[in-house]
Amino acid sequence: MACLRHSLMLGSSGAGKSTLANRLRGYEVMRTKPVREHDSRGRPTTTHRELIALDLGWLLMDVALDHTFADVAALAAGCPFGDCRHQTEPGCAVRQALEDGRLDAGRWGSFQKLEREIAHLERSADPKAQAEQKQRWKAIHKEQRRMYPERRRK
Going from N- to C-terminal start, the domains of the chain cover 1-68, 70-103, 106-154
CA distance 84 to 89: 7
- Picking from 60, 69, 55, the residue whose alpha carbon sits closest to that of residue 13 is 69
Query: What was the pLDDT predicted at 92?
Result: 95
Query: pTM surpassing 0.85?
Result: no
Can you identify the CATH homologous superfamily of domain 70-103? Probable gtpase engc; domain 3 (1.10.40.50)
Helix (H, G, I), strand (E, B) or coil at 80: coil
CA distance 78 to 60: 32
pLDDT in tens, 60-116: 666 667 777 889 989 999 999 988 999 999 999 999 999 999 999 999 998 898 888
Average pLDDT over residues 50-55: 71
CA distance 28 to 26: 7
Residues facing residue 6 across a β-bridge: 59
Report residue 124's pLDDT band, with 50, 70 and 90 as the boundaries. confident
Biggest distance spanned by C-alpha atoms of the chain:
65
